[in-house]
Chain A
Amino acid sequence: MREAIRKGFTYKIIISILFGLLGFALNFHTINFSFPPYVATVLIGLIFPMLVTFAWGWKYGLLSALVGGCQSMWWVWGPSNGYATFVVVPPFTLWIVWHGWMADFRTKQTDSKWWLSAYAVEIPFRILNTINLFTLSRWAISLNPPPWTWASNAPDTIPMDFSIFVVIKQAVVGYIILLLADVLLNLGFVRKFFGLEKEYNQVNTNFIIRAAFLVGAFFWIVDSTISTLVFQPESSFLDSLALNVSAHDIFIRTVFLLVSLAGGVLASNLLRGQRESDDALRDSEERLKQIIEGNPTPIFVIGEKHTITHWNKVCENLTGFPANEMVGTQKQWLPFYSEERPILADLIMDEATEKDISKNYGSKYNKSTLIKGAYEVEDFFPGLDDKWLFFTAAPLRDHHGKVIGAIETLRDITEIKQAEKELKQYSKGLEQMVFIRTRELEDTNQELTDFAYVVSHDLKAPLRGISQLAHWISSDYTEVLDQDGQEKLRLLISRTKRMHLLIEGILQYSRVGRAAAEVQSVDLNQLVNETIEILAPPENIQISIENELPAVEGMYTYFEQVFLNLLSNAIKFIDKPQGFVKIGCVGKEDSWLFSVADNGSGIDEKYFDKIFQMFQTLAPSNYKTESTGIGLPLVKKIVGLWGGRVWLESVVGEGSTFFFTVPKEGEKNERQ
Chain B
Amino acid sequence: MRGNKPILLVEDDQVDVMTVQRALKDLNVTNRLEITGDGEQALSFLRSPDNSKPCVILLDLSMPRMNGIEFLSVAKQDTKFRKIPVVVMTSSEEEQDKVDSFDLGVAGYIVKPVAYQDFVEAMKTVDMYWTLSEFPQDR
Contacts and interface: CB of A to CB of B under 8 A. Distances in A.
A binds B: yes
A477 to B, nearest CB: 14
Contacts of A467: 114-116
Interface residues of B, number: 17
A328 interface: no
How many A residues are at the interface, by size bracket?
10 to 19
B116 A472 contact: yes
Interface in A501-522: 507, 515-516
Among A461, A463, A496, max chain B CB count under 10 A is at A461
Contacts of B115: 467, 471
Contact of A457 (B18, B92, B114): B92
Interface in B57-98: 62, 91-95
A500 B114 contact: yes
A626 to B, nearest CB: 14
B44 interface: no
A468 interface: yes
B93 A465 contact: no
A465 B91 contact: no
Contacts of A610: none
B114 A469 contact: no
Interface string A443-476: 0000000000000011011011101110110000
B95 A468 contact: no
B93 A507 contact: yes
B112 interface: yes
A461 B91 contact: yes
Nearest to A465: B15
B19 A468 contact: yes
Given A467-B114, A467-B115, A472 B22 contact: yes
B15 to A, nearest CB: 4
B91 A468 contact: no
Contacts, number: 41
A515 B95 contact: yes
A465 B13 CA distance: 9
A464 B95 contact: no
B135 to A, nearest CB: 31
A464 B92 contact: no
A169 interface: no
B121 interface: no
Contacts of A496: 114
B116 A471 contact: yes
A636 interface: no
B100 interface: no
A507 B115 CA distance: 19
A471 B115 CA distance: 8
B34 interface: no
Contacts of A460: 91, 114
Interface of A: 457-458, 460-461, 463-465, 467-469, 471-472, 496-497, 500, 507, 515-516
Interface of B: 13, 15-16, 18-19, 22, 62, 91-95, 112, 114-116, 119
Given A460-B91, A461-B112, A496-B114, 19 more contacts: A457-B94, A460-B114, A461-B13, A461-B16, A461-B91, A463-B114, A464-B15, A464-B114, A465-B13, A467-B114, A467-B116, A468-B18, A468-B19, A468-B116, A469-B15, A471-B116, A500-B114, A515-B95, A516-B95
16 contacts: A457-B92, A458-B62, A461-B16, A461-B91, A463-B114, A464-B114, A465-B16, A467-B114, A468-B19, A468-B119, A471-B115, A472-B22, A472-B116, A496-B114, A497-B114, A507-B93
Counting from the closest, the 5 A-B pairs by CB-CB distance are: A465-B15, A468-B116, A471-B116, A461-B91, A460-B91
